[in-house]
């Protein structure tokens, strides 16, 4: 299962375009949207977003104050959207990374040499997790259906025995 629609929030237009170019080169079948502010992505949330990539430090857009990617993730969740989120940051801060992962961030990638490779790997890992989750859901449904089938057989047998006892 591929993550078809990716929303990217990056307030540095140059780095945002580099990310788009790199992602489209390696994931050509994905729809990738770039937003340069927290407000612009909040105004364009959609149920079909499969992944969000958020810059950790987002400058205000003139109308709003600066916000962290973690605050943006929480605002997105408060609106009823819960896509996996990969955070990008220029700061290599372990405490920040732990905070993000405790808040159910999917990954934390520092903008340094090799960041594009790490981002691509993280996306592929999330696709594998998504595939495994869907397989697990399918198996759980099959298990429930199977158990329900045995329940119906059991009820039918009990009714048959009761009917035989009544008829005697």
List, in order of start, the domains of the chain with CATH numbers. 5-140 (3.40.50.2300)
Largest CA distance in the chain: 86
pLDDT of 146 reads: 67
Q: Two tokens at 93?
A: 């801060």
For helices 13-26 and 115-167, the axis angle rounded to 10 degrees is 60
Decide: helix, strand or coil at residue 96.
Answer: helix
Report the percent of the chain where pLDDT is more than 70.
Answer: 89
Q: How far is CA 43 from CA 63, 97, 113, in A?
A: 14, 27, 32
Which pTM value belongs to this model? 0.74
pLDDT of 61 reads: 65
In whole angstroms, give the CA distance from residue 109 to residue 88. Answer: 5
Question: pLDDT tens track of the chain, all 168 residues?
Answer: 567 899 999 988 899 999 999 999 999 999 999 998 888 899 989 888 889 999 888 876 666 678 888 889 999 999 999 989 998 888 777 777 677 777 677 788 888 898 889 989 988 888 888 777 777 777 777 767 666 767 777 777 787 778 877 877
pLDDT of 64 reads: 67
Evaluate whether 85 touches 126 at the Cβ level (below 8 Å): no
DSSP-derived secondary structure for 103-163: TT-SEEEESSTTHHHHHHHHHHHHHHHHHHHHHHHHHHHHHHHHHHHHHHHHHHHHHHHHH
Within 8 A by CB and 6+ apart from 2, the residues are 27, 29, 30, 50, 127
Evaluate whether 55 touches 88 at the Cβ level (below 8 Å): yes
Evaluate whether 67 touches 38 at the Cβ level (below 8 Å): yes
Rg (CA), the chain: 23
Count of beta carbons in the 10 Å neighbourhood of residue 118 = 17
């Amino acid at each position: 299962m591929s993550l078809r629609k990716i929303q990217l929030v990056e307030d540095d237009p140059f780095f945002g375009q580099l990310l788009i170019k790199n992602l489209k080169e390696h994931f050509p079948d994905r729809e990738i949207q770039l937003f340069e502010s927290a407000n612009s992505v909040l105004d364009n949330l959609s149920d079909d977003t499969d992944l969000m990539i958020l810059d950790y430090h987002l400058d205000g857009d003139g109308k709003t104050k600066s916000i962290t990617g973690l605050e943006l993730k929480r605002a997105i969740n408060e609106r009823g959207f819960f896509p996996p989120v990969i955070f990008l940051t220029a700061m290599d801060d372990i405490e920040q990374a732990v905070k993000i992962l405790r808040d159910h961030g999917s990954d934390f990638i520092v903008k340094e040499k090799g960041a594009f490779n790490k981002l691509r790997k993280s996306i592929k890992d999330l696709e594998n997790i998504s595939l495994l989750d869907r397989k697990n859901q399918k198996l759980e449904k099959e298990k429930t259906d199977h158990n329900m089938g045995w329940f119906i057989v059991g009820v039918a047998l009990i009714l048959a025995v009761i009917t035989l006892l009544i008829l005697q």
